[in-house]
Structure 1
Amino acid sequence: MKAHLMYPQADFDLDKPPPLHAEDLVQDLALDTLFDAMAGDDKYLRQVARCALLTAFDSTPEVVRYRQAVLRDCLANQAVVRDLYRLALDVLGLEQNIYLSFMTKYPSSIMHRSLKLLHLQIDLLRRLRRMADEQAGRFASEGFGKLFALIREEISDQYFAELQDHFEQLKLRKGFLVSARLGPLNRGVAYCLRRYPRPQGSWLKRLLSKKPESYVYEIAERDETGATALSELQDRGANEVANALAQAAEHITGFFAMLRTELAFYIGCLNLREHLSELRGDICFADVSPAGQYRQAFEGLYDICLALNMRRAVVGNDLAGDDRQLFVITGANQGGKSTFLRSIGIAQLMLQCGLFVPARQLRANLCDGLYTHYKREEDASMKRGKLDEELARMSDIVDHLSPRSILLCNESFAATNEREGSEIARQVVRALAEAGVKTFFVTHLHDFAHSLYEAPPAGSLFLRAERRDDGGRTFRITEGAPLATAFGTDLYAQVFTEPAAAG
């Protein structure tokens, strides 16, 4: 049995390794805040959320839409989905409630333990079946449709009837009935646990009929050797049954383990939605296109991690960037450029895995890799300077880029002087543009930005952080040519002038 809530035809792989640059993404995009909001205090939910967001670069539009439909069902039926998740947890917790001793290495003990586990599992399977019968009509997605249809088909009334019959037989009220045959050197082989034959005819006929010939050997009460030998015979007879029961219990446990894993992603999404509802933050499901189609348009996109940290709604931005592959963002210090860049990166990760995005409306293409090149503090080992470290990281990123990738650069190559940093940035960005890599570049290097504006590569769009005439920041990013100043005097006046005036 498969859950199929994450992929139409495959299981979600929680052990899938993250990309080599995963830690850079987590640091630069402040993703720990997002993971914490999805997980609460549940480490397992956090593990699933982290894996889902960082390993979704193989997604296709079909897979994304499949998950979006499942998530819409989850949002519309939150109580049912949470009950389903708790049911999976209950099944997985059963083994912890069954006493495990050293005797479990013996087949007869394994058989009794597995029988007890199966008996407990069956009660929860009945709950699952009732849930499928009662709630299936409320779900419209293909994913939940497959799941509930599979439950009704595999866990049928006939299935429960057969299990009940097996349970009655395996209670072994009359003791072990074991068959065997003689092998080489007259040793017993092919031991097999048998069910007692069903009585034939009326009780009177059975009472008066001649009993079949049999031979009985009784073991003395103090015959420890004989008791041990008898126990070994029972274990040999129970071996195949024990294996079958253990596999049956493991099969049920495996299904619920996968169900728990795939539902955990959607439970994390529901937790995140609750946080955003408290902040009155907008969400929408992205309109996704295949990688390489250069789609980038949105309304009201905001930095979800900033909103979660500040515990209030934050300023969103609009963009019409379809058919553009190079976005150069300039403007006033502390005007929202880095926040804008981060909002794009987080939204890209969220839409890749089928999660809703923090915007009123968003359209974007998928990518086969999202990379960040942010400025770092100087190398703590002091073996190389900041510029050397930046160049080394960019070289490593370029080795992994493809025309279907996205690169976010924040103040790259600002560790040297204006002239040298501009020349390095200019050559790197033009090469990326020629290769078709979608690039977002936040910079204060006016020489670099102005030269690109004068001779823009194909598909370029220049954006600028808004600044009011009085020096105030709106934290909105709009189209605009690069300016020769970052308005650092505004910050100077804010820090040193305003307090004095107030005094």
Structure 2
Amino acid sequence: MMIFESILFDDGRLASDVDRATQPDFFGDLNLDQVIDAVVRGRDDYNLKPYFYVPLESVQTIAYRHDVSRDLERSEILHAVSRFAEQMRAMRVELAASEKMYYKWQKQRYFLDAVQRYCATLPEFASELEKAVPQSQGMTSFLDYLKAYVLDPAFERLRSDETRLRAELGEVRYSVLIKGSAVTVRRYAGETDYGDEVQQTFEKFKQGTAKSRSVDIREYPEMNHVEAHVLEFVAQLYPEVFNPLDAYCSAHAGFLHPVIARFDREIQFLIAYLEHVTRLRSAGLYFCYPVVCETSKAIHSTDGFDLALAEKLRLENETVVCNDFFLEGDERIIVVTGPNQGGKTTFARTFGQLHYLASLGWAVPGREAKLYLCDRVFTHFERQEDMKNMRGKLHDDLFRIHGILAHASPRSIVIMNEIFSSTSLKDALFLSRKVMTRIMNLDALCVYVTFIEELSTLGETTISMLSEVMPDALASRTFKIIRRPADGRSYALTLARQYGLTYEPLKERIRA
């Protein structure tokens, strides 16, 4: 049989490695924990969250996932995979029921039902997938593996033995004799069924429609002790049927092949995100498969947006504001300034989200994107002072930033969001210059959100972006972040106009 391991990884990554992964520290700052919750909702039985914690390390593996996702965007392939997943979910329910049942023979019947569904599902899935003609390396490799698996003699025995046992169980006939408190079970000996004869005899006494005396008897999956004893007696009467059933269940306890089980779980990671993307596309938003680079740091994004915020606004029927950015040549650091509540933090989150989502091999928000494959993402967002660590606000900022700079590399992405806000402007400028100089020396990509405009001209690797404000009386935020030199005057002038502090209104008041 040909070798196939994973629909998500082409680098030999083990499923156990994924399950040991833990949530990165920056998820909360970038609201990626909210994104994950929205994506995996309703799929708790797959335990998909660990896959979000394992970014890919090569553009080759990212391209591998892109191609599989493009296959899944084709309705015929998605239908085949969804039908397979539905049947596998039903099979797991039957297996779980088999494990929960108390009585042996009932457990084994549920087990037999699970095997039957498994054996029927895989050949059907192979046929449907082959008709859909997948194009990706991942899906075509899995299809080849699946076709070989269902033709393997071991699978054929699993299926044929199950069919034979089910047929033999269907031929079992027995009689139950009840006299007082005694119950006797014996082989069926051709006794006459008097049911029809009794009904015909009493039919002539029927006078109109009688009031129903039926009682609602609830059906429970678990047998009671009387039923269990009857079944035990039947098994003793037909050892030639029940002994092979017992042996079959023991021999095939692990019938679910690990490669099939892994595919069933991993494919949900891609389907869940595609369904989430479809919901947002229906709200008029764009997604694209980015170009991901391991060497060039010339990056750009058109109409990108914060994925967590977009889902929140979609549910509220609100409009999502998209933004662009680009870095070229030696540019590495985007310094974002502007008024509060203008979208600066959202822009910083968007930058981080886009790069991390790209490292998962997903389509990213926006019409077009070229992004950098980083080794790690580091974030510093403002936090409430924690009395447990016995550090003041400034001390805590410096402690966290020192940890970032000690571990960041030239391949890292660093996002600083309004740090040193607890100190004086002079001290904040001094400390920010020190931090930015370290980041510049690393040659790392960075978004630096700050109220200090001087930092946007600190060096040739920095560029300025600022949150745009409408020049109206209310100083309305547009939540657009535009690439423009920071001057601080446009917003100050808007505020001065809003409160009547420009030259002409002041002169009029002086005259008055």
Q: Alignment partner for residue 308 of structure 2, among 280, 305, 308? A: 305
1:156 shift after superposition: 1.8
SS in 2 for 1:155: helix
Contact conserved, 1:333 with 1:486, CA < 8 A, in 2?
A: no
In the alignment, structure 1 residue 472 sits paired with structure 2 residue 490: no
Provide the rounded CA distance (Å) in 2 between the counterparts of 1:315 and 1:101: 54
Structure 1 residue runs without a partner (length 5+): 174-230, 498-503
For normalisation by structure 2, the TM-score amounts to 0.72
Provide the rounded CA distance (Å) in 2 between the counterparts of 1:336 and 1:113: 56
From the superposition, tell whether residues 286 and 150 of structure 1 become closer, same or farther in structure 2 (CA, over 3 Å). Answer: same
Tell me the number of residue pairs that the alignment of Structure 1 and Structure 2 aligns. 419
1:112 shift after superposition: 8.5
What amino acid maps onto 1:142 in structure 2? Q
SS in 1 for 2:19: coil
From the superposition, tell whether residues 134 and 97 of structure 1 become closer, same or farther in structure 2 (CA, over 3 Å). Answer: farther
In the alignment, structure 1 residue 83 sits paired with structure 2 residue 90: no
1:82 shift after superposition: 2.1
In the alignment, structure 1 residue 403 sits paired with structure 2 residue 410: yes
Q: Alignment partner for residue 70 of structure 1, among 68, 71, 74? A: 68
In the alignment, structure 1 residue 434 sits paired with structure 2 residue 441: yes
1:424 shift after superposition: 0.9
1:304-323 → structure 2 map (5 Å cutoff) = 304-311=307-314, 312-323=318-329
Provide the rounded CA distance (Å) in 1 between the counterparts of 2:495 and 2:90: 57
In the alignment, structure 1 residue 462 sits paired with structure 2 residue 464: yes
Q: Alignment partner for residue 134 of structure 1, among 106, 123, 131? A: 131
Contact conserved, 1:373 with 1:410, CA < 8 A, in 2?
A: yes
Q: Deviations over 1:383-442 (max 9, x none)?
A: 222111111111222232111110101101121111111111111110111122211101
SS in 1 for 2:282: helix
* Residue in structure 2 matched with residue 201 of structure 1 by the alignment: none
Provide the rounded CA distance (Å) in 2 between the counterparts of 1:403 and 1:439: 11
- Give the share of equivalent positions with the same residue, in percent: 23
Provide the rounded CA distance (Å) in 1 between the counterparts of 2:383 and 2:489: 23
Q: Alignment partner for residue 423 of structure 1, among 413, 424, 430? A: 430
Provide the rounded CA distance (Å) in 1 between the counterparts of 2:271 and 2:498: 44
Provide the rounded CA distance (Å) in 1 between the counterparts of 2:494 and 2:81: 51
SS in 2 for 1:124: helix
Contact conserved, 1:110 with 1:246, CA < 8 A, in 2?
A: no
Provide the rounded CA distance (Å) in 2 between the counterparts of 1:259 and 1:446: 51
1:290-369 → structure 2 map (5 Å cutoff) = 290=294, 292-311=295-314, 312-323=318-329, 324-369=331-376
Provide the rounded CA distance (Å) in 2 between the counterparts of 1:358 and 1:495: 39
Q: Deviations over 1:452-474 (max 9, x none)?
A: x1x50x43222222234333333
What amino acid maps onto 2:151 in structure 1? S
1:357 shift after superposition: 0.8
**Deviation larger for 10-19 or 349-358:** 10-19
* Residue in structure 2 matched with residue 55 of structure 1 by the alignment: 54
Q: Deviations over 1:42-98 (max 9, x none)?
A: 3346x51x4333321x42101111111111111222333322321331232231232
In the alignment, structure 1 residue 262 sits paired with structure 2 residue 266: yes
Q: Deviations over 1:194-234 (max 9, x none)?
A: xxxxxxxxxxxxxxxxxxxxxxxxxxxxxxxxxxxxx9xx9
Q: Alignment partner for residue 121 of structure 1, among 113, 118, 121? A: 118
Contact conserved, 1:286 with 1:364, CA < 8 A, in 2?
A: yes
Q: Alignment partner for residue 147 of structure 2, among 130, 148, 152? A: 152
Contact conserved, 2:288 with 2:368, CA < 8 A, in 1?
A: yes
1:475-486 → structure 2 map (5 Å cutoff) = 475-484=479-488
1:486 shift after superposition: 8.8
What amino acid maps onto 2:350 in structure 1? S
Q: Deviations over 1:329-355 (max 9, x none)?
A: 112333221111111111112111011
**Deviation larger for 414-423 or 26-35:** 26-35
Provide the rounded CA distance (Å) in 1 between the counterparts of 2:482 and 2:99: 65
What amino acid maps onto 1:81 in structure 2? V
From the superposition, tell whether residues 41 and 485 of structure 1 become closer, same or farther in structure 2 (CA, over 3 Å). Answer: farther
What amino acid maps onto 1:67 in structure 2? R
SS in 1 for 2:463: strand
Provide the rounded CA distance (Å) in 1 between the counterparts of 2:385 and 2:108: 63
* Residue in structure 2 matched with residue 213 of structure 1 by the alignment: none
1:126 shift after superposition: 3.4
Provide the rounded CA distance (Å) in 1 between the counterparts of 2:99 and 2:479: 61
Provide the rounded CA distance (Å) in 1 between the counterparts of 2:98 and 2:398: 58
1:132 shift after superposition: 3.2
From the superposition, tell whether residues 310 and 118 of structure 1 become closer, same or farther in structure 2 (CA, over 3 Å). Answer: closer
1:271-282 → structure 2 map (5 Å cutoff) = 271-282=275-286
**Deviation larger for 263-272 or 153-162:** 153-162
From the superposition, tell whether residues 422 and 131 of structure 1 become closer, same or farther in structure 2 (CA, over 3 Å). Answer: same
For normalisation by structure 1, the TM-score amounts to 0.73
SS in 1 for 2:252: helix
* Residue in structure 1 matched with residue 194 of structure 2 by the alignment: none
Contact conserved, 2:80 with 2:125, CA < 8 A, in 1?
A: no
Provide the rounded CA distance (Å) in 2 between the counterparts of 1:90 and 1:347: 36
Contact conserved, 1:332 with 1:485, CA < 8 A, in 2?
A: no
SS in 1 for 2:401: helix
Contact conserved, 1:281 with 1:313, CA < 8 A, in 2?
A: no
Contact conserved, 2:115 with 2:162, CA < 8 A, in 1?
A: no
From the superposition, tell whether residues 332 and 41 of structure 1 become closer, same or farther in structure 2 (CA, over 3 Å). Answer: same
